[in-house]
Amino acid sequence: MNAHAPVATDLDIAYRQHLDAVRADSLSGRRLLAPDGLWLAITKNCNFKCIGCYREGMFRKTYVSVPDVCKMLAESSGHAYDYISLTTGEAFLHPEFCDIIEACRAAHPGAVIDVISNGSIPPKGRFRKAVSMIDKLGLSIDGAVAETFESIRRGGSFVRFFENAREICAIRAETGFPKDLGFSFTAITRNIAELPDVVRIAADLGVPMIYAQPMEMNHPEIIAAPANFTSHTCPSKRCIASRTRPAPLARRWACASIWQAI
């Protein structure tokens, strides 16, 4: 017997027995495994070229048609999804975005419609209608001042984002949608110190949630100066603050600010 081999606990044994039972049920046909959510890539089009974006170089005006979306939804009609994400490219650029949301709602009325947007499209007309149909909307913000925001979210305007976010908050106050509204913050060494001010902007506008995550190491600028991110859950347990190792003070400051704002 290997003296260094880990000793299985009662929990380990119970978990393995559970997995064996699930596997046996699946092989026998007694249990059908299915995903709890559906991610629909409805467009590759985007009006930004954010640094580090995995879609960089794929920005073209291609859109999935409503009939094709309905076909995909029909193929999954026997299973009720918990959520449907329409986040690929900039969904608000799809000319039939509202029709797609309605199709998703009709096929899976209990599913949460989830979208992350760059917040560049003024919520007027059909775009206002789309905002009022979404259950969960994240607005990407990577800086608290124009210089930082626009250097990372290339093609964007900080002033326009701020105005659109304010209008979306007004729509939420009027209609109750989006039910969940938040800022999505992608952290790198350039912007991590501005996270507390992003939280203050959210509090001033009435955005109730902040989600921060580290940048994936795809862009040459990021690879050249790796950030070594770690994650930390703030005391409210409603959001995640991320930090770089060279900035522990910024992390504590940001986390405290998120907690206070919420």
Percent of the chain with pLDDT over 70: 75
The stretch 52-77 carries a mean pLDDT of 80
pTM for the structure as a whole: 0.72
Coil, helix or strand at residue 63:
strand
What is the C-alpha separation between 224 and 113, in angstroms, rounded? Answer: 37
| Annotation: CATH topology of 34-261 | TIM Barrel (3.20.20)
> What pLDDT shows up at residue 234?
36
Dump the DSSP string for 103-167: HHHHH-TTSEEEEEE-S-S---THHHHHHTT-SEEEEE---SSHHHHHHHSTT--HHHHHHHHHH
Helix (H) or strand (E) holding 221: helix 220-224
> What pLDDT shows up at residue 131?
96
Q: What is the pLDDT of residues 119-143, one digit of tens each?
A: 999 999 999 999 999 999 999 999 9
Lowest mean pLDDT among 86-90, 114-118, 122-126, 204-208: 86-90
Are residues 259 and 235 in contact, defined by beta-carbon separation less than 8 angstroms? yes
> What pLDDT shows up at residue 150?
95
Domain map of the chain by residue range? 34-261
